[in-house]
Chain A
Amino acid sequence: MATDLATPPKAAPKAKKPKRADKVPLGTAVLRYRWLYLMLLPGVAYFVIFKYLPMYGVTIAFQDYLPFLGYSGSPWVGLKHFEQLFSGPDFARLLANTLILAALHILFVFTAPVIVALMLNELRVNILKRSIQSLIYIPHFLSWTIVAALTYVLFAADFGVIAAWMRDLLGDTTKVDYMAQEQWFREIVILQQLWKMTGWGTIIYLAALAGVDPNLYEAARMDGAGRFRQMWHVTLPAIRPTVVVMAILASGNLLDSGFEQIWLMTTSLNREVAEVFDTYVYYAGVQNGNFSYSTAVGLFKGVAGVILIFGSNWLAKRMGQRGLF
């Protein structure tokens, strides 16, 4: 503690970056570090082939791509596929479904880990805290297939536990197939996300909370702050930067509904509310072979995501937070 006080943070000026080893010609550098470059090669090849080739591949969004003509031979059609998307009957529905799921996600799934982390942080019995943490992390490691399967066996109309409880609760004797019904789709999807993601999401906030100086609580107590006021004035400000960073990251994924989960939960009966950009890309592209149109949909989503992430980063900085970049 004493050393902390002795060297206030301001007193430590940012040291200038140590100068790079004197600039050498490229050839010399390659020769000198040949082993390092050799080690770098497979990884770079991976990123070029599986990340940057597909980025080049988005050019087919502006073509009428035909597999036997290839990227270079297929005719250019400009913005045709984008016009088709924006003026088509599906766009409004896709956008609405995607945005509603995103809004529900932010409202419940994004905030739940913050709340649970605050609750865990107040838990003074260490063994209890650790056991609860270990248990609520588990679903993170289960696949969406398993989560969907669990949902199915719990909600199944004929033998599902939750379906039976709902019947008792509502005094209803009809067997409702929750998995197939439009009106239950969003509730179930958000419940799944809460179950799978909440525990894991707490980790990063708990880490931020572990760094809070206990003296601050002491001081707050001296000033007469109760548990809630301590939480409000000490704990919450301490995790605000983390929340902001997580929010920026989440904003980039706003249009990402999560392909696997939604695809697994989509049935022919709930498609109207279930279909989102992610699943639509698969449906139109891989299943129906409209590669160009489907790529255009994906590109729209990707670009919107990049704009969102940089936009919210800018906003965070405007609001006096640190941001990501």
Chain B
Amino acid sequence: MTTMTETKPKQLAVNNNSSAGSRVFDTLNVVALVGLALITVLPLLYVLAASFSSEPEIASRPFFLWPEKIVTEAYEYIFATPTFIRSLLTTVVVTAVGMVVQVMLTFTMAYPLAKRYLPGRTLVLNLVIFTMVFSGGMIPTYLVVRDLGLLDSYWALILPLAINPFYLIIVKSFFQELPQALEEAARIDGCNEMGVFFKIVLPLSKPIIATFSLFYAVAIWNDYMSPLLYITDSNKWTLQILVRQLIATDPAAALSQMDRTWVPPEQGVKFAIIVIATLPILFFYPFLQKHFAKGVLIGGVKE
């Protein structure tokens, strides 16, 4: 008895997670992770601050999170150029239309694939999965887009990416988990599959529709490869192409400003365009974040 009462508290003290060694571990861990978070965020905050500061300040101050004097000339310059306005509008419209098309195609295809009794379903699923392993590659895809007459068309930015097979399989898994009783009730009330889909299934899927709308929108907004491949007309540039041109070349040339007397705030313009192209993503980020972890996890579930 005596040995028991003596050793028990001692053992707890040694092995408890609040021992000295454990505390050192926790402290180092917190410091490292906070450092990691700072490395992630500080460059973005610096770009934001620099976009609102004057050219001499950008050149002379190494790193700052608040400009000495808030200056908006970079934004004024960018928003005064037709090239920027055009590419911003293009990107917004292509993103919005593309998102709707992609979500519609993905969800209508996922629904029949969720029906275990549908003959041919496994074949289609396997063909979809195969495209995740092997693809024809850049040039054959380019030739298909060209042969369809889509070069220099905004549809080339939407249709070749219309269905993301990963998203398709996640949505399919989601549909499989919907309660079957609701669908059956609707069918007894005289709905055909189309009616069930639009009246019962889609209203139940609002959160997941929102999630994948955002995912698709982010993908089109961020896409650089498609416009690079398929768009040669500089009047049809998207924002990502413009960002590239502004960073890699002389801003005045990229924006083809007619008024040559207005000297662009060269560095400021680079910071400002980064902010503008990032802002919508960061604006929607909280909504994205709410759902994505779940989405990723369903995606990991095997058939």
Chain B interfacial residues counted at CB < 8 A:
97
Stretch from A5-13, A88-96, A101-109, A292-300 forming part of the interface with B:
A292-300
| A68–B293 CA distance with the chains assembled, in angstroms | 49
> B143 touching A291 by the CB < 8 A rule?
yes
> B34 touching A132 by the CB < 8 A rule?
yes
Say whether, besides A128-B30, A141-B218, A36 and B278 are in contact (CB < 8 Å): no
> A149 touching B41 by the CB < 8 A rule?
no
| A199–B160 CA distance with the chains assembled, in angstroms | 29
| A139–B50 CA distance with the chains assembled, in angstroms | 19
Cβ-based interface call for A195 (8 A): yes
> B26 touching A124 by the CB < 8 A rule?
yes
The SS class assigned to the A binding surface is helix
Stretch from B14-22, B69-77, B257-265 forming part of the interface with A:
B14-22
Question: Could you say which residues of chain A place their CB within 8 Å of the CB of B7?
Answer: none
> B247 touching A152 by the CB < 8 A rule?
yes
| A128–B108 CA distance with the chains assembled, in angstroms | 40
Question: Could you say which residues of chain B place their CB within 8 Å of the CB of A56?
Answer: 136, 140
* CB of B94 to closest CB in A, whole Å: 14
Interface members, chain A 130-171 (any B CB < 8 Å): 131-132, 134-139, 141-146, 148-150, 152-154, 158-159, 161, 164-165
Cβ-based interface call for A214 (8 A): no
Say whether, besides A58-B136, A128-B30, A207-B300, A42 and B247 are in contact (CB < 8 Å): no
Cβ-based interface call for B138 (8 A): yes
> A49 touching B40 by the CB < 8 A rule?
no
Cβ-based interface call for B37 (8 A): yes
> A148 touching B247 by the CB < 8 A rule?
yes
* CB of A132 to closest CB in B, whole Å: 5
Cβ-based interface call for B141 (8 A): yes
**Residue from the list B15, B127, B244 in contact with A221, Cβ < 8 A:** B15
Question: Could you say which residues of chain B place their CB within 8 Å of the CB of A53?
Answer: 136, 140, 144
> A295 touching B139 by the CB < 8 A rule?
yes
A-contact 0/1 string along B110-144, CB 8 Å cutoff: 01110101110000100110010111111111111
- 10 A-B pairs (CB sep. < 8 Å): A33-B118, A33-B193, A40-B109, A44-B109, A55-B136, A116-B36, A125-B30, A143-B222, A143-B223, A145-B240
Besides A43-B168, A145-B243, 15 other A-B contacts (C-beta < 8 A): A35-B194, A36-B111, A40-B108, A44-B124, A46-B162, A131-B37, A138-B44, A146-B222, A146-B243, A148-B244, A165-B62, A203-B293, A227-B25, A263-B228, A294-B138
